[in-house]
Chain A
Amino acid sequence: MSGVREFFVLSGRWVIEGRRALSQGKIWRPLLFAQMRKLGVDSIPVAVFVAVFTGIVLALLSSYMFTRAIPLYFVGTLVTKAVMLELGPVLTGMALAGRVGANVAAELGTMRVTEQVDALETLAISPHAYLVTPRVIAAILMFPVVTAVAMAVGVLSGWFTAVNLLDLSSVEFLRGARQFYNFKDIWFGLVKSASFGGVVATMGCFQGLSARGGAEGVGHATTRAVVLGCQAILVLDAFWALVLL
């Protein structure tokens, strides 16, 4: 029970510190752009890699399922819907939970165990304003951007596979993609990915700043950040499906 109580006390403290840090724009605003580039732009290659193979597998799987059952142009429907609604945001989120979450936890964890975080506090600089806020805001802003790129690449990859490996023309693929298209498919995926970004960055910062005990402690914090980030993505995914669909 003391562990649960400690969790709530710590969470409450983070909420208070977070609100205060948000008001200290002079500290975190100059750092935001660099974090957006580091957490967002630099993550595009890994997101594209995941999206390419997601599109390929979706096209092949749907062809396998639909052949001699329903018209093959539904491959376009399934690839587009699945990538935009679910696999684009979630798989991109998972990949970035590994990249971004681990990076943030390792960096902040190392700063914690080498007393750099204490040094910030002795310089009257809030670690939440200097370290946490720019990373969390950058992730909330950039995860949807990266996910949008991944969505586009995933659909393109599915199209390319369908046209070159399956008995499907571009016209048929496009017919399927437009058949049940809804703009909500896109914004639903992007809203989800923004929340994934917030939770991945927050988890990475929380675990990093809680690291204790040298290199081993930083390793544990990094692992926890990735695992908990992935779990949080799955929980949020279900939450948004319940609330918005």
Chain B
Amino acid sequence: MIEFQDVHKSFGARTVLDGFTLAIPDGQTTVLMGFSGSGKSVTLKHIVGLLEPDAGRVLVDGESVGELEYDGLMRLRSRIGFVFQFAALFDSLSVYDNLALGLRRQELPPEEISRRVAESLRLVELSGAEDRFPAELSGGMRKRVGIARAIALNPRYILYDEPTTGLDPVTTAAMDELMLRARRELGVTSVVVTHDVRSAFAVADRIAFLHQGRILLAGTAGEVRETADPLVRAFIEGRPAMGERV
């Protein structure tokens, strides 16, 4: 389980998280929605220890991420797959090596690495792309390789940072299906950060709405869809909200 307990985070004078509290249950897909710049990606980075809170705690499986020693942090990260907004593939490595890099770090035998790479690419429907390089791939394909790289680790958790940003509607739907399949076939707990409302409702078991540094609303996808909160309604329906700066 992932828990945020009264997390505060600022960058200079700008407060991003201001008493952020949220519990993410195991085995489900939790979507974190909010306006652009509301701190969604910052939230994700706290889970893997890329950022540390100024106050409060982030717990993963009962361990406080900020208090982990180096080895403990490395063990935590090997349980979490992170899918970056623009995939963050390593330019100088082939698709195969992009997926194998993390597996070699775990000192798996070469045959096991090959098997996991092949299986992960099959899951994202990119079998046969092992020898290609990121520059040769389309944006959608790069995102799928990013998902494959996360899946190959056999993680307990997968974090998705804006997985459908910049994709056309058909590819977006395919990405949604991928995230659903990853959860079905691997049984992972997923945290998806997005402002794509359609995609959010397609993949979410639970939705939390982040606003001004804290959770404004959290509930099942159905509960959030029926909410009367004017800000959340405006966001879901894609119309200007009173008092919100663009």
A interface residue numbers (CB < 8 A to B): 20, 26-27, 110-111, 114-116, 118-125
Contacts and interface: CB of A to CB of B under 8 A. Distances in A.
Given A114-B88, A116-B88, A116-B90, A122 B80 contact: yes
Interface stretch (B20-28, B56-64, B70-78, B203-211): B70-78
A122 B105 contact: no
B16 interface: no
A121 B70 contact: no
Contacts of A27: 105
Consensus secondary structure, chain A interface? helix
Contacts of B1: none
Interface of B: 45, 48-50, 70, 74-75, 77-78, 80-82, 84-86, 88-91, 101-102, 105-107, 149, 153
A143 to B, nearest CB: 23
B105 A123 contact: yes
Nearest to B102: A123
Residue from the set A27, A110, A122, A124 with the largest chain B CB neighbour count within 10 Å: A122
Contact of A122 (B50, B75, B107): B50
Contacts of B81: 122
A116 B78 CA distance: 17
Given A118-B82, A119-B88, A124-B77, 19 more contacts: A20-B70, A26-B107, A110-B91, A114-B86, A115-B84, A115-B86, A115-B88, A118-B88, A119-B82, A119-B84, A119-B89, A121-B48, A121-B77, A122-B48, A122-B81, A123-B77, A123-B101, A124-B75, A124-B102
Nearest to B50: A118
